[in-house]
Amino acid sequence: MFNEVGFRNDPMSAYAKSLGGCAIKSHKYSCLIAILISGLFLSGCSDASGLQALERPATSDDVLPDGVDLSPIKLDKVLLVAETNGTKYFIGQGTDEITTCLVTFVVDDPTDWVSGCTSGALPTDELVETSGPIGKSSKLVSDGYDTTELESSGWTKIHDNILISGS
């Protein structure tokens, strides 16, 4: 049941290992409490998603185009944050305030859109990456995430929180 370093061989334990080893047998509960407490301290800093872009009020431009359906995800807020080369990039926040979505929409082809959502990511992470029929990949990152390595590997920053790659 436990591997050579004391982690359980199941997906949740692998996730806990990525959070610093919280699945070690004797420290499971104390580590869980530490994560919850640190989450409370961090939640006062900004939105749960860690994106300052979501702090501005929505305008009439901040509406997902007809035909974009993220079911079963329900978004409380959607904002158009970037537009380049005929593609619009929206960030959405779920009604649970921890789900964050990236929607990429090609203006000339209303059926050509792609989305990706994540919840509960760490505050300095690559939150979600999408790719689709438009031949581009899009990556949503948290505020303050160091994108130097991504940019040196061919990604282009089009917004503080969005990078794109591809044709």
Whether residues 27 and 57 fall in one domain: no
81-127 per-position pLDDT tens digit: 999 989 999 999 999 888 999 999 999 988 889 999 998 766 668 99
- The C-alpha R_g of the chain, in whole angstroms, comes to 18
Residue with tokens 């689709």: 132
Whether residues 88 and 38 fall in one domain: no
Q: Output the pTM of the full model.
A: 0.69
76 in a structural domain: yes
Whether residues 81 and 152 fall in one domain: yes
pLDDT at 42 over 50: no
Distance from C-alpha of 3 to C-alpha of 9, rounded to nearest angstrom: 6
139 in a structural domain: yes
142 in a structural domain: yes
1-28 per-position pLDDT tens digit: 333 333 333 333 333 333 333 333 333 3
Whether residues 90 and 35 fall in one domain: no
Whether residues 57 and 139 fall in one domain: yes
Domain count along the chain: 2
57 in a structural domain: yes
Which residue range(s) make up the domain with 84?
A: 52-166
17 in a structural domain: yes
Whether residues 92 and 157 fall in one domain: yes
Whether residues 72 and 147 fall in one domain: yes
47 CB contacts (<8 Å, ≥6 apart)? Answer: 54, 55, 93, 97
Whether residues 148 and 75 fall in one domain: yes
What is the Cβ-side half-sphere exposure of residue 162, based on CA atoms within 13 angstroms? 26
1 in a structural domain: no
Whether residues 82 and 157 fall in one domain: yes
Whether residues 159 and 91 fall in one domain: yes
Whether residues 60 and 108 fall in one domain: yes
